[in-house]
Chain A
């Protein structure tokens, strides 16, 4: 199964639609609730990062019998130092983002914690690609 979603930078109230839809799909497939929670928390963090830090982006989710592979690609400023961005508490979020309830610098570490595989590729000035893979049986 294959699902695609679009995300717009700054559209905070739209963030979470993809996670919400994917959650419903995984429930129907009888994936274990604990695994579903890990998958959708990581995806939601990725969605919010596009809304908070980039101009626009798209999500692709591929589901087969054993795993889900999600790629989130955005057009935006990119991440100059991925290692630094991965540290808990590191954030360049604007005050607007903080007012919306985000910007604690916890998103990327939380994605790493929840996904089985997290890959990030980024080009400064053009955009970021985040890949999340999680297996249904642990």
Chain B
């Protein structure tokens, strides 16, 4: 791994790049993140070993939140203008997970983040 080539990205920057709506976690925007992983299948998310992953998904349910909690994912971007529920926000707050709602498609969201040097997991 060539650590020196990794450009630092933080959650606040992601929020700005995506013109996303911050749902919770305003105190955590400085948190640095390295990788992005996009999936609507939580089974695949649970196989990842890396730390500091941003999850990009269109799946707004409790399983997404539990998966993030269990996998130590610090930030979830919900794409396609999907809305999170109060129950989801509660889990996010309890576990210091930042939730962002984004109006863009999955494709556009990932494209922007990739161009701005968020790294793929594999």
Contact = CB atoms under 8 A, between A and B. Distances in A.
Contacts of A98: 41
Nearest to A33: B72
Of all A-B residue pairs in the complex, the 7 with the closest CB atoms, nearest first, are A16-B66, A104-B43, A101-B42, A13-B62, A106-B43, A44-B70, A101-B63
A104 B69 contact: no
Contacts of A44: 46, 66-67, 70
Interface majority SS on A: helix, strand, loop or mixed?
helix
Contacts, number: 68
A39 to B, nearest CB: 10
B38 to A, nearest CB: 13
A12 B67 CA distance: 12
Interface residues of A, number: 25
A37 B53 CA distance: 14
B70 A40 contact: yes
Contacts of B59: 101
B44 interface: yes
A92 B80 CA distance: 29
A101 B43 contact: yes
Interface of B: 40-44, 46-47, 59, 61-64, 66-67, 69-72, 87
Given A41-B46, A101-B42, A16 B71 contact: no
Interface string A99-111: 0111111110010
A103 B43 contact: yes
Contact of A13 (B46, B63, B70, B71): B63
Contacts of A106: 43-44, 46-47
Contacts of B63: 12-13, 15-16, 48, 100-102
A65 B42 CA distance: 32
Nearest to B88: A13
A126 interface: no
A74 interface: no
Given A16-B70, A37-B70, A104-B41, 11 more contacts: A16-B69, A33-B72, A41-B71, A100-B63, A101-B40, A101-B41, A101-B42, A101-B67, A102-B41, A106-B46, A107-B46
